[in-house]
A and B are shown apart, each in its own frame.
Chain A
Amino acid sequence: MANVTLRNVRKTYLGGFEAIKGVNVDVADGQFCVLVGPSGCGKSTLLRMVAGLETVTGGEIDIGGRVVNQIEPADRDIAMVFQNYALYPHMSVFNNMAYGLRNRGMAEAEVKSRVEEAARVLELSAMLERKPRQLSGGQRQRVAMGRAIVRQPKVFLFDEPLSNLDAKLRIAMRVEIRKLQRRLNTTSIYVTHDQLEAMTLADILVVMNGGQVEQVGNPLAIYEKPATTFVASFIGAPPMNLMSTRADEIKSQLGGSAGEAGILGIRPEDFVITDQTPSGGVAMSLTVEAIERVGAETFVYGAREQEDQRVAATPGELPPGEVIVRIPGTDAPAIGQKIRVAAISSKLHLFSGDGRKRIEA
């Protein structure tokens, strides 16, 4: 049991490339922290620095009140689950899990009882004598988990552990991991690029971009009040619609409340198809361009009447002038039809012109 604190952690590679530009995160004891961001944002590097697999070039990493910058991975009391599982191919499932314990000189009886307990929890008891190549992807993933939990470490580190699984298994394992973590109550840091995984797993969500932390907090709080346009478009699927407040139609509706804001964001699920304009809210006309029916809900892709300037937001960015509207059920307007959509004032997100700052109306 331990908390993990990152204080102004930096990583600069020999060539001068700055992968991590000063990160501060505080994960309390037993919390599940998820690092999320697009590929290349430094989230895996940061995790590997906590594990001790990458050196720290600035700042401090503190695990359970001990600065571990100079401590070997084996002595940090952490366990890690790798994306490709990194099981020892020539060892049986039992030996894969027992290896770390035996290296620490644990008595064979204790090793056996720990491995068997972990195998029972993970439903691997029938496969202890098999080699990794005789297991399915999901089973290998569970062995990798088992190797982590037998150690009873202070901290679990997960490096995109589910990305090699198919979609269905991924959801099942996601729930498994969460349940397991709740029960063991072990501090965990989990890296993913999948925002859905991030939202569902995290107690504390860290959204990263370009080696920096964009926002830290409770996942729902981040969803409701994204701090930057990057977070707004990264968290939530489909992404938040971002548009310039300078477009005439929007400018006139926002009136004075726009203030210094340059960008208006509205989530697809906050739009309603209606002819009325709620007071203080925003309404706009769209020409329907595409429809995506997924069963329980339908996404309508519409083009705004007037083109406006391009709004800067990187991942999942929509083409200028395109708006996604999510409507429940499958009853959607026809393609080419003109519709009018509106969102109420409490569902409007305002950002500074460069997208780096949220502005509360």
Chain B
Amino acid sequence: MVEQEGIRRYVAHIILWIGIAIVAFPVYIAIVASTQDNALIANGQMSLLPGGHFFEVYYQTIFVGTSGSTREPVANMMLNSLIMALLIAVGKIAISIISAYAIVYFRFPLRMPIFWLIFITLMLPVEVRIYPTYKIVADLNMLDSYAGLALPLIASATATLLFRQFFMTVPDELLEASRIDGAGPLRFFWDTLLPLSRTNMAALFVILFILGWNQYLWPLLITTRDDMQTIQVGIRKMITTTDALTEWPIVMATAVLAMLPPVFVVVAMQKLFVRGLVETEK
């Protein structure tokens, strides 16, 4: 970047800081609220400084749950969310890399129609096909199970397209060299294509993990038991509207906890991202 002198640089920095403040403030409020006494928040007297109830609130949130609406400890919800998000992310990557491999490297009847079929499913997200999908999952007795949570979300046209585009940039000579080196289709896939796709897989994993983690509508529909509840559904259930008092510190603590795994995944995978960007060689 071109070095800017004096006042212009300060203006740029001030604008950036304002942007950061706008993004960070709600997060700060959530953290602060999660450490205060519920009565204070309910009275509208919430302080902007952290309160003294950090440990007890988080202990109760993680291991006990709210005293009212749903009594499920958040640790269990997080485990459910984690299993679902991992199943979705890993499943999507596995399915789509295999189908992209088939579409790019093999000539079989109806190859292009099949490719277009996959492509068209982009236009049918879960929300659109939710009733038939629910019916199928219910008929297969997969309600209230991890399979029911993850399987219907695993098929991914986006990831298939992404891998297809990547495979098409891999030089044909690599395949030819592999053929001469005595590597069959499976060998080529394992020994050459998968290692080369590593950074793509990491990038996709981040996106898909967050996508899975943030699922709300589908888990809400197909889980009825409290112990199968995911964290996103759990947060919503904690905010009662009618008779009981919403336990805001616990709700906020849950929100903060719900943020942590995606943040962790992004931070942990960032290194692979950067390395993937630096290694331009194909």
Segment touching A, from B87-95, B168-176, B249-257: B168-176
Given the interface contacts A82-B177, A86-B177, A89-B196, does A104 sit within 8 Å of B282 by beta carbon? no
* B107, chain A: closest CB distance, angstroms: 12
Number of interface residues of B (CB under 8 A): 19
B195 at the interface (CB under 8 A from A): yes
B194 (CB) vs chain A CBs: closest residue: A90
In the bound assembly, the distance between CA atoms of A84 and B192 in angstroms comes to 17
- Min CB distance B180 to A, Å, is 5
* Contact of A325 with B by CB under 8 A: no
Q: A99-B191, A132-B281, A133-B279 are in contact. Are A86 and B174 (CB under 8 A)?
A: yes
Q: In the complex, how many angstroms separate the beta carbon of B185 from the nearest chain A beta carbon?
A: 12
Tell me if B's interface is mostly helix, strand, loop or mixed.
helix
15 A-B Cβ contacts within 8 A? Answer: A51-B176, A51-B180, A72-B179, A73-B179, A74-B181, A74-B182, A80-B177, A82-B173, A86-B176, A87-B177, A99-B183, A100-B180, A132-B281, A133-B279, A147-B177
Q: Are A88 and B182 in contact (CB under 8 A)?
A: no
Q: Is B111 an interface residue (CB 8 A)?
A: no
A53-B180, A73-B179 given. 11 additional CB < 8 A pairs? A72-B179, A74-B179, A74-B180, A80-B177, A82-B177, A89-B281, A89-B282, A90-B195, A90-B196, A103-B181, A132-B281
Question: Measured between alpha carbons, how far is A72 from B176 in the docked complex, in Å?
Answer: 11
Which residues of A are found within 8 Å of B192, using beta-carbon distances?
Answer: 88, 90
Contacts of B135 in A (CB 8 A): none
Q: How far is the CA of A89 from the CA of B187 in the complex (A)?
A: 16
Residues on the B chain within 8 Å of A53, using CB: 176, 179-180
A78 at the interface (CB under 8 A from B): yes
Within 8 A of B (CB), among A52-73: 52-53, 72-73
The smallest beta-carbon distance between B188 and chain A, in angstroms, is 10
- A79 close to chain B: CB less than 8 A: yes
Residue interface mask B250-281, A partner, CB < 8 A = 1? 00000000000000000000000000000101
- Residue in B171, B180, B191 whose beta carbon sits within 8 Å of that of A73 in the complex: B180
- Pair A104/B281 contact, Cβ less than 8 Å: no
Find out whether the CB atom of A100 lies under 8 angstroms from the CB atom of B282.
Answer: no
Query: Which residues from chain A contact B282 at a C-beta distance below 8 Å?
Result: 89
Residue of B nearest to A76 (CB): B180
Cβ of B43 to closest chain A Cβ, rounded Å: 61
Hey, what's the 0/1 contact readout for B78-114 against A, CB within 8 Å counting as 1? 0000000000000000000000000000000000000
A133 CA to B279 CA, complexed, in Å: 9
Are A82 and B176 closer than 8 Å at their CB atoms? yes
Number of interface residues of A (CB under 8 A): 24
Q: How many A-B residue pairs have CB under 8 A?
A: 61
Complex Cα–Cα for A99 and B183 (A): 9
CA distance A358 to B195 in the complex (A): 56
A89: chain B residues at CB < 8 Å are: 196, 279, 281-282
Q: Find the A residue at minimum CB distance from B173.
A: A86
Q: How many Å from the CB of B79 to the closest CB on chain A?
A: 35
B256 CB to closest chain A CB, in angstroms?
40
Q: How far is the CB of A94 from chain B (nearest CB, A)?
A: 14
Closest to B196 in A: A90
Contact A100 B171 (CB under 8 A): no
Q: Give residues 101-149 of B contacting A (CB, 8 Å).
A: none
Cβ of B195: which chain A residues have Cβ within 8 Å of it?
90
The 7 lowest CB-CB distance pairs between A and B, nearest first, are A86-B173, A100-B181, A74-B182, A103-B182, A86-B177, A90-B195, A133-B281
Query: What is the distance, in angstroms, from B193's C-beta to the closest C-beta of chain A?
Result: 10
Q: With A and B bound together, what is the CA distance between A147 and B178 in angstroms?
A: 11
**What does the 1/0 interface line of A81-118 toward B look like (CB < 8 Å)?**
01110111110000000011001100000000000000
Of all chain B residues, the one with the shortest Cβ separation from A148 is B180
Tell me the bound Cα distance from A87 to B192 in angstroms: 10
When distances are taken between beta carbons in the complex, the residues of chain B under 8 Å from A86 are: 171, 173-174, 176-177
Cα A87 to Cα B282 in complex, Å, equals 10
Contacts of A84 in B (CB 8 A): 171, 173
Q: How many Å lie between the Cα of A79 and that of B182 in the bound state?
A: 11
For A78, list chain B residues within 8 Å (CB): 180
Query: Which residue in chain A gives the minimum CB-CB distance to B177?
Result: A86
B182 contacts A104, C-beta separation under 8 Å: yes
For residue A74, which residues in chain B have a CB less than 8 angstroms away from its CB? 179-183
Known A89-B282, A99-B191, A133-B279: A80·B180 in contact at CB below 8 Å = yes
Interface centre among B180, B192, B198, B279 (most CB of A within 10 A): B180
Contact residues in A for B177 (Cβ distance below 8 Å): 80, 82, 86-88, 147
Contact B180 A103 (CB under 8 A): no
A88 to B196, CA, bound (A): 9
| A100: B residues at CB distance < 8 A | 180-182
List residues of chain A with CB within 8 A of the CB of B187: 103
Chain B residue with Cβ nearest A157:
B180
> How far, in whole Å, are A79 and B181 apart by their CA atoms in the complex?
8
What's the least CB distance linking B37 to chain A, in Å? 56
> Which parts of A139-157 form the interface with B (CB within 8 Å)?
147
Asked if B183 and A103 make an inter-chain contact with CB atoms under 8 angstroms apart, the answer reads yes
- Nearest-neighbor residue (CB-CB) of A78 within chain B: B180
Q: Which residues of A contact B173 (CB under 8 A)?
A: 82-84, 86
Cα–Cα, bound, A90→B174 (Å): 12
CA–CA, A86 and B176, complex, Å: 9
Least Cβ–Cβ distance between A142 and chain B, in angstroms:
16
Residues of A within 8 A of B179 (CB): 52-53, 72-74
Distance of A22 Cα from B182 Cα, bound (Å)? 29
Q: Which residues of B contact A147 (CB under 8 A)?
A: 177, 181
Bound: A90/B275 CA distance, A: 13
Distance of B191 from chain A, by nearest CB (Å): 7
Shortest CB distance A143–B (Å): 12
